[in-house]
Amino acid sequence: MKSGFVSIFGKPNAGKSTLLNALMGEKLAIVSPKVQTTRHRIKGILTEKDYQIILSDTPGIIEPKYKLHEKMMHAVRSSLEDADLALLLLDIRDNWEENDTLFSALRLKAPAVVVLNKIDGIPAATLAEANAFFTGKPYCRQIIAISALKKTNLDMLLNTVLGFLPEGEPFFEGDDLTDLPTKFFVGELIREKVFLLYGDEIPYQTTVLVQEFAEKSTLTKIRADIIVQRESQKGIILGEGGKMIRQLGSDARKDIEAFIGRKVFLELFVKVRPKWRDTENFLKEYGYN
Ligand code: GDP
Ligand code: MG
pLDDT tens digits for range 267-287 = 999 999 999 999 999 999 999
Of 19, 23, 31, 90, the one to substitute when testing ligand 1's pocket (max ligand atoms within 8 A of C-beta) is 31
HSE, CB side, 13 Å, CA atoms: give it for residue 202.
Answer: 22
CA angle (85, 32, 255) in 5-degree steps: 100
pLDDT at 194: 97
pLDDT tens digits for range 124-167 = 999 999 999 999 999 999 999 999 999 999 999 999 999 999 99
Query: CA quadruple 71, 72, 73, 77: dihedral positive or negative?
Result: positive
pLDDT at 64: 86
- C-alpha to C-alpha distances, 121 to 55, 147, 152, nearest whole angstrom: 27, 10, 12
pLDDT at 167: 97
Nearest to 80 by CA among 167, 5, 163, 160: 5
Domain with CATH 3.30.300.20 in the chain: 182-285
Span 2-164: which CATH code? 3.40.50.300
Nearest to 265 by CA among 187, 213, 204: 213
pLDDT at 219: 96
Domain with CATH 3.40.50.300 in the chain: 2-164
Contact 96, 134 (CB under 8 A): yes
Report the chain (289 residues): mean pLDDT per 10 consecutive residues. 96 96 93 91 94 94 88 88 95 97 91 98 97 97 98 98 96 89 95 95 96 96 97 97 98 96 97 96 92
Which CATH architecture describes the domain 182-285?
Answer: 2-Layer Sandwich (3.30)
pLDDT at 31: 92
With 0-12 / 13-18 / 19 or more C-beta atoms within 10 angstroms meaning exposed / middle / buried, residue 243 is exposed
What is the signed CA dihedral for 118, 68, 42, 193, rounded to 10 degrees? -70
Torsions phi, psi for 20 (to 5 deg): -55, -50
Q: Which residues line ligand 1 (CB under 6 A)?
A: 10, 12-18, 31-33, 37-38, 60, 117-118, 120, 147-149
Entry pTM: 0.92
pLDDT at 174: 78
Nearest to 38 by CA among 168, 192, 253, 233: 192
pLDDT at 136: 94
Of 11, 18, 21, 27, the one to substitute when testing ligand 1's pocket (max ligand atoms within 8 A of C-beta) is 18
